[in-house]
Amino acid sequence: MEVVTWTGRTACALQRALRMTNEQFAEHLDVGVRTVASWHSSPDLVPKNDTQQLLDTAYERAAPLVLRRFADLIKPVAAAQAQAFRVAVAVVTRGPDVLLVCRRGDDALTWQFPAGTVKPGRKAEVVAVEETRAETGVRCAVRQTLGERVHPQTGVLINYFLAEHLMGEAENRDPEENSEVAWIPRADLTRFIPEQNIYPPVLEALA
């Protein structure tokens, strides 16, 4: 079973399939023990590209029996993701600013990144770009995939993309769903969205 993007969860599944301790797995990959421990504590964490390559290599070199164990271990994860309601989020930057929309909720207004539902057969990065334009009038281009997670509060599977502003002024093109659209300084992001609600790789990308 091919792994497109490794997460803490799938990395730990490979570790279990290899039947290695944290120390053994860290040595096997040539990473720090604290890195392996972080995957256990943060299963939705997406390792950096160089670590992704190390995991790819470990997977490719694994014996057939290990690969069968690994496939069995991640079946529940794959099934849950296939059935999950999926949303694509665009983290759009323009110089020192990031684009936000203010959603109308049942009983409150909340600031969020532009986002849209990913229907079967559609690519998440395309949805992120199209929904940004539909909601805000801003044209953008995806520059980096930041990973995915099951949102801890909503249970929705979310794909995050870092995108760059190409053209267009920010305006509220969906007044039924949003009350406001704005560029805000990256440094002020946590004044609009609580830090604990922001996916850590998003914070890292905007730092």
The whole domain housing 54 covers: 8-83
User: Which of 83, 115, 148 is the C-terminal boundary of a domain?
Assistant: 83
Reported as a single tens digit per residue, the pLDDT across 71-111 is 888 876 555 554 457 899 999 999 999 999 998 876 677 89
Same domain, 90 and 121: yes
- Let me know whether 145 and 194 are in one domain: yes
94/175 same-domain check: yes
Indicate whether 117 and 178 sit together in one domain: yes
Model pLDDT, residue 81? 52
* Percentage of residues in the chain having pLDDT higher than 90: 62
Q: How confident is the model over 44-58, as pLDDT tens digits?
A: 788 888 899 999 999
Last residue of a domain, one of 83, 108, 138: 83
Query: Which pair of tokens denotes residue 85?
Result: 């309601």
Which among 191, 187, 198 is positioned nearest to 98, based on CA atoms? Answer: 187
119, pLDDT greater than 80: yes
Same domain (yes/no): 23, 95:
no
Residues 64 and 149 in one domain: no
CA distances in angstroms from 73 to 11, 32, 130, 187, 192, listed in the order given:
11, 24, 35, 40, 39
Are 197 and 155 members of one domain?
A: yes
Return the C-alpha torsion angle 110, 125, 119, 151, nearest 10: -40
Structural domains counted in the chain = 2
Q: Are 194 and 97 part of one and the same domain?
A: yes
The verdict on residue 3 lying in a domain is no
How many whole angstroms from its chain centre is CA 73? 22
Residues 200 and 103 placed together within one structural domain of the fold:
yes
- Kindly state whether residues 137 and 178 are assigned to the same domain: yes
Crossing angle of the two packed helices 8-18 and 64-83, in degrees rounded to 10? 150
Residues 63 and 42 in one domain: yes
Are residues 67 and 115 both part of a single domain?
no
Residue 127: the pLDDT is: 94
How confident is the model at residue 164, as a pLDDT? 96
Point out the domain boundary residue: 29, 55, 83. 83
2 domain residue, yes or no:
no
DSSP result, 1-16? ---SS--HHHHHHHHH
CATH at residue 141 = 3.90.79.10
**Structural domain includes residue 1:** no
